[in-house]
Chains A and B, each alone.
Chain A
Amino acid sequence: MEHHGLRRLLLFTIAVFFALSIGEKAFSAAPSPIIGTLQRVSGTAAVVRQDQILPAKPGLEIQANDTLRTGTDGSIGVVFHDDTLLSLGPGSVLVIDEFVYAPRQGKFSLVLRMLKGTAVYLSGLIAKLGPDSVHFVTPSASVGVRGTKFAVKVQER
């Protein structure tokens, strides 16, 4: 009987460890938060992530909620995972509020909020596949996008 008790305890412990390790795996297999990559960088530019300031360099991976900033001599080009292309000219600030590209679930959303400077946007698959899925917002207006290319200049306020 005692043996049974011990064995049960042992089995239980193993089960718990197993469950924990699966849990950990499941957690680490969650969708990657990476949503794109910096491609072209010149002059001073940075990606701001929570309390980190990451100097811009080609290949730097970006995440949702990152803020992109360029200095007065800076410009950057970003390739998002849905092939949206975005570039910023000097003195620009843009926040990536939302990025969802989940074709299996049919979920698509991109929200970009520009605070100042100049930007050029070229649609990727999110705009092509999801109706009304892209919103480009400035302090004065919101742009509804159908697959296309456009430029925005936001004055300093």
Chain B
Amino acid sequence: MKLWPRVQILWPLLFLLAGCSGNRDLKVSPSAPHAKVEQAQGEAESSKGDLFVLLPEPNGEAGSIRVANAGGSQILDKPGDMTRVEDFNRPPIAPRLLDEKGVASIFGDALLAQPDLSPRFVSFTLWFESDRTKFANGSKETLSEILTTVEIRKPKEIHIVGHTDRVGTDSHNLKLSSRRANFVRDFLTSKGVKSSVLFVSFQGESRPFVYTEDEVAEPLNRRVEVMIR
């Protein structure tokens, strides 16, 4: 932050470098499939305010983002969800869907500039039985995929992060998530993975995979995530 004034002095120079006209024409597809999308297109076209759009991740899933300011907040949790915010004191509008064409017309250049995905870390999720440190069905296959990946990649970092669903107290779940993460660590070291590359952490019930109310049993939240790179 302390460098800020110096950077600001440079801005006129940069404008020369970059050329001065900031506005670009947006091409918007004329045939939107339904009214809500059309409305979203119009919303996106409007030059007033900032746009926030949740995109599908490379694996097809979408996480969620929370757009907040002094006026309020909105959660975007479906791919294509879009909100617009006029200024810091006005709340973000209720999310609406922006279709792929709309996304491409506004963000096409930025999307084309996205770096390669191939050198990135790969993630795996191991599922657990309720309130236990025991793998649920299907985790065996994932374990062997993890071992294969380790063999191929010779990773420098393997992150193991434990999670639980929201049944039980926070402190119970923190311990449970720690036990699950350590269980996976022990499994990997028993298969010859070097412990020097393992980073174990745990987050209890605080970061559910799917959002639920407290005390809701949710198999998808009982998990250990393994990220290899």
Contact = CB atoms under 8 A, between A and B. Distances in A.
Interface of A: 39-40, 42, 44, 46, 48, 50-51, 53, 65, 67, 69-79, 83, 85, 87-92, 95, 97, 103-104, 106, 116-120, 122-125, 128-129, 131, 138-156
6 contacts: A97-B1, A119-B110, A120-B107, A143-B67, A152-B52, A155-B48
B121 A140 contact: no
Contact of B65 (A65, A87, A89, A148): A148
A147 B209 CA distance: 10
Contacts of A156: 22-23
A142 to B, nearest CB: 6
Interface string B112-145: 1111110111010000000000000000000000
Contacts of B62: 148-149
B113 A87 contact: yes
B206 A72 contact: no
Nearest to A119: B110
A74 B112 CA distance: 11
Interface string B29-49: 000000000000000100111
Instruction: Indicate the member of B18, B87, B116 with the most A CB atoms within 10 Å.
Output: B18
Interface of B: 1, 3, 6-7, 10, 13-14, 17-19, 21-24, 44, 47-58, 62-69, 76, 85-88, 90, 92, 103, 106-117, 119-121, 123, 157, 159, 161, 199, 201, 203, 206-207, 225, 227, 229
